Structure formats: structure tokens, C-alpha cells
Amino acid sequence: MEEILDKRHISVQKCYQCGKCSAGCPVAADMDFPPSVIMRLVQTEQKAMEEKALRSETIWLCVTCETCATRCPMEIDIPGVMDYLREKSLNEGKTHPKAKNIISFHRAFLDSIKQTGRLSEVGLVADYKLRSFHMGQDVGLVPAMMSRGKLHFIPEIIKGRKKMISIFNKTLHRKGGQK
């Protein structure tokens, strides 16, 4: 709790477990713990409970849609808490096994932006497929998407690409090199 307050300026202790975050969450049915339970696990300040939160699938399924924060009567930035827990889970090597594909997609997305300054769909998909080992999945869609002009093999690169790379490198440096 103190760590989240210090690093993200979010006061988890303000949560009084009304459950509005969980009731409004569009993906709560697929989570192992609803958002209100994650908040409670963090509030306990017990190592075992923090461990449950860090190893949960919930923090990876959160789509940061802000519905929970909008519904929260205490205006707690719950997506910020989830983001912090994801970062800590990655740094400590405690990610849920089912989060592998989510992490692969996230890294492929950021690498595409870093390299071109924009999202390159072909680069994103190719990178994701290599990271996740889902090589053959969706291959049948490529011809139709290309014929409709939805996929471009040559990515569009922004001017000032070096500045974009510099921003990424500064951010990684501040976070201790975690990608």
C-alpha cells in the first residue's frame, strides 16, 4: 500500500470495498479475482496476499478501460494500481502463466512504435507471432486484407524517428532497463 502511494500517488487505503469497480468491470467474469478483491489483497499489506495479487491473471486481463475508476465513489485510480502490479509482477518474475501472450503482444506493440514511430500492423503481427509461437494462426486472413488495402508490408516511418527511440531509451533507463 505504501509502495503504491509512494510510487504512483494512489491511496489504496481509501477503498472501502463497496464492489462498484467489480460490478462495472467488463472483464470481471473472466478474472480469477475481481478488481475489488485485488484492492483488498493489496490493502492487507501481507506478503502472501501481495503475492496472490502479483501472480493473479486479473492484473493482466485488466484492459484499463477506466470503468472501475469512474464508478469508484472514492475516485481511486484502480487502473493505475493494476498497471503498477503488472510492472512489479514483471520485474519480480511473478507473472501468471496465461499472461504470456498478453506480454508478447504488449512488447510487439511497443517495439513497432519504437522502430517506426507508428503502428505497423504487419510488423506487429509478425513480432507477436514469433514471440507467442502462434505462427499459423490467422494466416488465411492475409490475402483478403491485402486485397482490400488493410495491410501494408512496408511500414510508414515518421520524421524524427531518432527522437522516438530516444524517448523509449530514456524511459527504459529510468525504469532500470525493464522492457
CATH number at residue 15: 1.10.1060.10
Q: Note the pLDDT of residue 153.
A: 79
CB atoms within 10 A of CB 9: 9
Q: Note the pLDDT of residue 176.
A: 57
Domain membership flag for residue 74 = yes
Q: Quick one: which of 53, 62, 133 has its CA closest to 95?
A: 53
Final residue belonging to a domain, choices 42, 64, 95:
95
Q: Note the pLDDT of residue 179.
A: 46
Q: Quick one: which of 147, 26, 156, 10 has its CA closest to 85?
A: 10
Residues in Cβ contact with 140 at an 8 Å cutoff, skipping those fewer than 6 apart:
none
Domain membership flag for residue 135 = yes
**Separation of alpha carbons 132 and 141, rounded Å:** 18
Q: What is the pLDDT along the chain (179 residues), one digit of tens a residue?
A: 889 999 999 999 999 999 999 999 999 999 999 999 999 999 999 999 999 999 999 999 999 999 999 999 999 999 999 999 999 999 999 999 999 999 999 889 988 888 888 888 888 888 888 888 887 777 788 788 888 887 777 888 888 888 888 888 888 766 655 54
Domain of residue 140, residue span: 98-174
- Predicted TM-score (pTM) of the model is 0.77
How many domains does the chain divide into?
2
Q: Quick one: which of 33, 78, 39 has its CA closest to 56?
A: 33
